[in-house]
DNA sequence: CATGAATGAGAGTTCATTCAT
DNA sequence: GATGAATGAACTCTCATTCAT
């Protein structure tokens, strides 16, 4: 079971008192190997897409035989779940960084909202595969194969990524409920824009995703300023 | 080749003058059977999702051997394309009906915009698989396997479904360019809301898709009223 | 015109007395259509090879539906058999023409032997598919699917094509038995050279089929001159 | 990749120094199983011919599921290539043995030429399927599907099998170029005789392949003696 | 921990031939 | 005669997963 908590990147230093040092070391080694496999999976997935990235391919890239991966992950899906967790971590870091960078701070909270929302948008625009990842486990748009606790964890990571924007709205005087609704809308808008963009539907309307997003953001800021 | 026009649901009754009655009847029978297969495909797809719906499964449901489907469709993809075409037809009819229904007409064009946008939203909210269908041919969010002319045709059907909303905005005095951008945004927003809704991400934020959509629509109407 | 019907057995001007003119006409029409189908089959076979030429493809090229061909040929194999018969006819004509052309006649019988053998060789060198055809019915080098009478007929056509060479050898004073053996050898040599040529094995040895054949022919003529 | 060297029957025992004994053993086991599959393939191919020998049939005979073969061979073609490689190995051994056997040595080089050519001829006369094998990858007499390096390797094996005859001609004083041409001719003659023999065309001329071959060989030796 | 052979199911597609119409 | 839908069997190949070693 440590295996699955490890998926989420939690460390267990406190076990030091109960386990021998050897066990700790082995656990650390296993974690490193997990990450090696995830790296291979990410590479395969990014280069070959959801369908091209077979377990065999991932194993080959990681320098393992197919069966060996099952020592680290219970299934292919679990690999993707781990990948998604890591992806959300990166998203969080990117959003957070945008929220604490000087230019944003100066004109806060409008600046913060704009900067973090932009960072969120940019993250998925620049890494379309990370967006795919988010929908992989919902093949056919229908949830599947996630353990409830894993689902919860992933949701929390997502919530965390959006939190700075919600807080910025609150700081602008928007009631908590309205802020939450606006942030959900914002998220939906970003997803919609990017899905349409990736599938070529926006180009078809001769529009530019970035411009559309700016427009949305401006409207949101206007709403936030004088409700 | 009547096969490909049939994909798009065109009827051939008018050929009566040139073909023998027998040919016409046979063509009609073939069309009926095409639709039977599409029905089976839709059922398989809706129940089993994109991956479960194999050609064999579709054939079984339609009461055919696998090879027989190739008398009606050149490939599995063509079946899905036909399904998508028919789905867009239904969408168009639903949107059009909403745009010409009395209550909408009375308060036009605001009423028309609200009614048609609502109809668009409702269509995909009530038929989530139809939204999937639209993304099927863009596996991994990356276009694939459509003949350019078929792609064009499908795009036109989509454009047509959105046209009433664009016209309503124009009728409210919005410049064509801005109207086009707003309609693309609206489309993206709907898609985003529904994708998040279908994947359970909206419920997670304790929000209601319909309410969020109303909110978006109100803001859009406000923008349209006094730019 | 009896040509191809003869392939299939035997016909039959004498039926004129018993059948009505209509039946005769219908038979002629059928024969014309047979040839149309054979033409299509030849085209498909030459362009697409043995594997690419499906019944469907042949039917399409002939302007028929697949089933229709069965009104004219009992099987796909029979089509090929007919094609082979026609091919052997062409071979015979080409060999015969070479044997009666002035230059050959002048220096006969050496000239005749050289000219006809050359014509035989050239025929298959220039029309590799005709050689394939000859081996098609012996897939895996093992006879199959020929009715004995059809086999006999084809053999006779082949014999006829080689007869001028045998006669030339006899005219040079070679005993009948030896001449027959030499001609069989000659045939084998031609086939061997062309099979190796078509499969690229001769080019691999940096040799030229034509030169090798000339060499063989010279040796044969030398043997024939003073045994 | 040991797989490809294994195709060619090379052993890996010398790796003992670098690999553990276990790896060596496993490799040996794998090689045995490869040969088991090749045996099954040969059986299927010999009994059922080129078309009857499907992957499924081969797998069934080898006691495997179809997919299992792909652990040993990358494709069906690779199986046939391996079969052909092994066939050429046997041919080489048979030819070589004939060239070094006492009776041949005594009257060398005429005896050597006669003995090795005879061995070559006998090999394919006695194993007709091995001749088929050589032409399998040239479906419809038109090259296909060999990797260039594999093609090269197979060509070299063929060249090696013919080398003793070429050397014997050279030993008889024939210039290298002429010897090469004669050996190519000899090869073509053998192939021609056997193809016609296998397809029953020689019997039809009431000839005997062996006698025809002797006749050819005598003429060749006569040419070689006094050019 | 690691291997990699093996499974078993299944993928989409093609084919010659048949037969009701 | 002609159609073309339908069959049924076959095709090669891929996959995630298991498990004896």
Rounded Cα distance, B172 and B169, in Å: 5
pLDDT, tens digit, for every residue of A66-81? 999 999 999 998 999 8
For residues D28 and C65, the model is more confident at: C65
At residue A146, the pLDDT reads 64
Nucleotide nearest to C29 (CA to C1'): F1
- pLDDT of D16 above 80: no
What is the spatial distance, in angstroms and rounded to an integer, between the CA atom of A125 and the C1' atom of F21? Answer: 48
Contacts of C153 (CB under 8 A, 6+ apart): C6, C7, C85
pLDDT, tens digit, for every residue of C45-56? 999 887 789 999
DSSP-assigned letters across all residues of B37-69: HHHHHHHHHHHHHHHH--HHHHHHHHT--GGGG
Rounded Cα distance, C93 and C98, in Å: 9
At residue A5, the pLDDT reads 37
* Interface touch D140/C158, C-beta < 8 Å: no
Residue A4 pLDDT level (bands cut at 50, 70, 90): very low
At residue B191, the pLDDT reads 95
Q: In this complex, which of D51, D187, D202 lies closest to C196 when CB atoms are compared?
A: D187
Q: Do D and A touch, counting CB pairs below 8 Å (3 needed)? A: no
At residue B146, the pLDDT reads 66
Instruction: Specify the pTM.
Output: 0.84
In total, chain D counts a number of residues equal to: 227
Can you read off the two tokens belonging to residue C17?
């007395």
Provide residues 13-72 of C with CB closer than 7 Å to any strand E atom: 52-56, 66-67, 70
* Interface touch C140/D51, C-beta < 8 Å: yes
Residue B137 pLDDT level (bands cut at 50, 70, 90): low
CB of C187 lies under 7 Å from some atom of strand E: no
Specify whether the CB–CB gap between B115 and B104 falls below 8 A: yes
Closest chain A CA to residue B180: A205
pLDDT (average), residues D45-50? 83
Find the distance separating the first CA and the last CA of chain C, reported in whole Å.
44
Substitution target from B125, B205, B213, B220 for chain A, most A beta carbons within 10 A? B205
Cα distances from D222 to residues B12, B150, C219, in angstroms, run 80, 72, 11
pLDDT (average), residues D106-127? 92
- Work out the minimum CA distance from D225 to partner chain C, whole angstroms: 14
CB of A147 lies under 7 Å from some atom of strand E: no
Specify whether the CB–CB gap between C168 and C113 falls below 8 A: yes
pLDDT, tens digit, for every residue of A106-153? 677 889 999 999 999 999 999 988 988 887 766 544 445 567 778 888
Q: Do B and A touch, counting CB pairs below 8 Å (3 needed)? A: yes
Q: Nearest protein residue to F11's C1' (by CA)?
A: D54
What is the spatial distance, in angstroms and rounded to an integer, between the CA atom of C75 and the C1' atom of E17? Answer: 8
Specify whether the CB–CB gap between D155 and D82 falls below 8 A: no
Q: Would you list which residues of chain C are within 8 Å, Cβ to Cβ, of chain D?
A: 49-51, 128, 131-132, 135, 138-143, 155, 158-159, 180-181, 183-185, 187-193, 195-196, 198-202, 204-207, 211-212, 215-216, 219, 223
- pLDDT of C121 above 70: yes
In degrees and rounded to multiples of 5, residue A163 shows phi and psi of -55, -45
Contacts of D206 in chain C (CB under 8 A): 180
* Interface touch D202/C188, C-beta < 8 Å: yes
* Interface touch B202/A188, C-beta < 8 Å: yes
Residue C17 pLDDT level (bands cut at 50, 70, 90): low
Number of H helices, E strands in chain B: 11, 0
At residue C137, the pLDDT reads 67
In three-state secondary structure terms, B12 is coil
- Work out the minimum CA distance from A189 to partner chain B, whole angstroms: 5
What is the spatial distance, in angstroms and rounded to an integer, between the CA atom of B67 and the C1' atom of F9? Answer: 10
In total, chain A counts a number of residues equal to: 227
pLDDT (average), residues D5-20? 45
pLDDT (average), residues B117-140? 84
pLDDT, tens digit, for every residue of C79-117? 999 999 999 999 999 999 999 887 766 677 889 999 999
Q: Is B126 left (phi over 0), alpha (psi -120 to 50) or beta?
A: alpha
- pLDDT of A225 above 50: yes
Cα distances from D174 to residues D168, D183, D217, in angstroms, run 9, 11, 15
Among the residue ranges B25-39, B45-59, D99-113, the one predicted with the least confidence is D99-113
pLDDT (average), residues B126-144? 70
Chains that touch D (3 or more CB pairs under 8 A): C
In total, chain C counts a number of residues equal to: 227
Specify whether the CB–CB gap between D69 and D61 falls below 8 A: no
pLDDT (average), residues D200-215? 94
Specify whether the CB–CB gap between C212 and D186 falls below 8 A: no
Q: Nearest protein residue to E16's C1' (by CA)?
A: C55
Rounded Cα distance, B53 and B43, in Å: 9
* Interface touch A207/B180, C-beta < 8 Å: yes
Can you read off the two tokens belonging to residue D49?
């011919």
Rounded Cα distance, B137 and C147, in Å: 52
Long-range contacts of A181-184 (CB under 8 A, 24+ apart): A181/B207, A181/B211, A181/B212, A181/B215, A182/A220, A182/A223, A182/A224, A183/B205, A184/B196, A184/B202, A184/B205, A184/B207, A184/B212
Q: In this complex, which of A139, A183, A207 lies closest to B184 when CB atoms are compared?
A: A207
Nucleotide nearest to A57 (CA to C1'): F15
At residue C168, the pLDDT reads 95
pLDDT, tens digit, for every residue of B153-197? 888 999 999 999 999 999 999 999 999 999 999 999 999 999 999
Nucleotide nearest to C78 (CA to C1'): E16
Q: Nearest protein residue to E10's C1' (by CA)?
A: B54
Task: Residue D169: count other Cβ atoms within 10 Å of its Cβ.
Answer: 27
Nucleotide nearest to D48 (CA to C1'): F10
Query: How is residue B200 annotated by DSSP?
Result: T
Rounded Cα distance, A180 and A187, in Å: 11
Residue C147 pLDDT level (bands cut at 50, 70, 90): confident
* Interface touch B141/A199, C-beta < 8 Å: yes
pLDDT, tens digit, for every residue of D124-173? 999 988 988 887 765 444 445 567 778 888 889 999 999 999 999 999 99
Nearest to C139 by CA among B151, B118, D53: D53
Contacts of D219 in chain C (CB under 8 A): 219, 223
Closest chain A CA to residue B128: A141
- pLDDT of A227 above 80: no
* Interface touch C128/D135, C-beta < 8 Å: no
In three-state secondary structure terms, D182 is helix
Q: Do D and C touch, counting CB pairs below 8 Å (3 needed)? A: yes
Chains that touch A (3 or more CB pairs under 8 A): B
- pLDDT of B105 above 50: yes
Q: In this complex, which of D180, D188, D223 lies closest to C193 when CB atoms are compared?
A: D188
Give the residue carrying structure tokens 């086009």.
Answer: B180
Nearest to A136 by CA among C50, B51, D23: B51
* Interface touch A185/B212, C-beta < 8 Å: yes
Contacts of A24 (CB under 8 A, 6+ apart): A15, A16
Helix axes of C128-136 and C21-52: crossing angle, nearest 10 degrees: 100
Can you read off the two tokens belonging to residue A150?
């894993």
Q: In this complex, which of A142, A183, A199 lies closest to B143 when CB atoms are compared?
A: A199
Q: In this complex, which of B128, B190, B212 lies closest to A184 when CB atoms are compared?
A: B212
At residue B145, the pLDDT reads 57
pLDDT (average), residues A157-164? 95
Provide residues 71-90 of C with CB closer than 7 Å to any strand E atom: 75-77
At residue C86, the pLDDT reads 95
What is the spatial distance, in angstroms and rounded to an integer, between the CA atom of D166 and the C1' atom of E3? Answer: 49
**Stretch (H or E) spanning D161:** helix D148-171
- pLDDT of B135 above 90: no
What is the spatial distance, in angstroms and rounded to an integer, between the CA atom of D68 and the C1' atom of F20? Answer: 16
Nucleotide nearest to D76 (CA to C1'): F12
Residue D1 pLDDT level (bands cut at 50, 70, 90): very low
At residue B4, the pLDDT reads 38
pLDDT, tens digit, for every residue of B87-96? 999 999 999 9
pLDDT (average), residues A216-226? 90
Please calculate the CA angle D64-D68-D71 and round it to the nearest 5 degrees: 135
Nearest to D170 by CA among D180, D162, D159: D180
Long-range contacts of C216-222 (CB under 8 A, 24+ apart): C216/C186, C216/C189, C216/D185, C217/C113, C217/C114, C217/C117, C217/C118, C219/D219, C219/D223, C220/C113, C220/C182, C220/C186, C221/C110, C221/C113, C221/C114
Give the residue carrying structure tokens 């210039």.
Answer: D175
- pLDDT of B69 above 60: yes
Among the residue ranges A4-13, B176-185, C197-206, the one predicted with the least confidence is A4-13
At residue D50, the pLDDT reads 73
pLDDT (average), residues A35-64? 93
Rounded Cα distance, C123 and C157, in Å: 15
Provide residues 48-67 of B with CB closer than 7 Å to any strand E atom: 52, 54-57, 66-67
CB contact burial A138-158 (16+ within 10 A = b; e otherwise): bbbbeeebbeeebbebbbebb
Can you read off the two tokens belonging to residue A119?
């960072």
What is the spatial distance, in angstroms and rounded to an integer, between the CA atom of D57 and the C1' atom of F9? Answer: 14
Substitution target from D169, D201, D209 for chain C, most C beta carbons within 10 A? D201
> Which strand F bases fall within 7 angstroms of a protein CB?
1-20
Rounded Cα distance, C40 and C46, in Å: 10
Residue C145 pLDDT level (bands cut at 50, 70, 90): low
Substitution target from A77, A131, A185 for chain B, most B beta carbons within 10 A? A185
- pLDDT of D27 above 90: no
- pLDDT of C160 above 90: yes
pLDDT, tens digit, for every residue of B41-61? 999 998 887 778 999 999 999
**C27 class by beta-carbon count within 10 Å (0-12 exposed, 13-18 middle, 19+ buried):** middle
- pLDDT of C13 above 50: no
pLDDT (average), residues A173-195? 96
At residue C172, the pLDDT reads 94
Contacts of A202 in chain B (CB under 8 A): 184, 188
Query: How is residue C199 annotated by DSSP?
Result: T
Number of H helices, E strands in chain C: 11, 0
Query: How is residue C169 annotated by DSSP?
Result: H
Contacts of A188 in chain B (CB under 8 A): 189, 192-193, 195-196, 202, 212
Nearest to D7 by CA among D23, D42, D26, D31: D31
For residues C30 and C7, the model is more confident at: C30
Task: Residue D137: count other Cβ atoms within 10 Å of its Cβ.
Answer: 18
Average pLDDT in chain D: 85
Specify whether the CB–CB gap between B98 and B163 falls below 8 A: no
Among the residue ranges C57-66, D26-35, D52-61, the one predicted with the least confidence is D26-35
At residue D227, the pLDDT reads 55
């Amino acid at each position: 079971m440590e295996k699955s908590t490890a998926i989420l990147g939690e460390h267990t230093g406190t076990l030091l008192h109960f386990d021998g040092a050897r066990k700790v070391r082995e656990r650390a080694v296993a974690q490193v190997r997990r990450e090696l496999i995830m790296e291979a999976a990410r590479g395969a997935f990014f280069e070959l897409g959801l369908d091209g990235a077979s377990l065999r391919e991932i194993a080959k890239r990681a320098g393992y035989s197919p069966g060996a991966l099952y020592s680290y992950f219970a299934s292919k899906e679990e690999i993707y779940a781990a990948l998604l967790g890591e992806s959300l971590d990166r998203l969080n870091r990117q959003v957070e960084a945008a929220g604490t960078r000087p230019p944003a701070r100066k004109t806060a909270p409008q600046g913060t909202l704009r900067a973090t929302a932009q960072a969120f948008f940019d993250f998925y625009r620049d890494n379309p595969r990370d967006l795919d990842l988010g929908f992989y486990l919902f093949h056919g748009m229908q949830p599947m194969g996630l353990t409830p606790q894993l689902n919860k964890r992933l949701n929390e990571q997502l919530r965390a990524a959006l939190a700075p924007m919600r807080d910025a709205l609150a700081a602008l005087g928007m009631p908590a409920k309205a802020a939450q609704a606006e942030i959900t809308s914002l998220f939906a808008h970003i997803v919609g824009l990017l899905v349409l963009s990736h599938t070529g539907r926006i180009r078809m309307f001769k529009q530019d995703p970035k411009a559309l997003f700016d427009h949305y953001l401006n409207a949101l800021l206007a709403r936030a300023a004088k409700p």
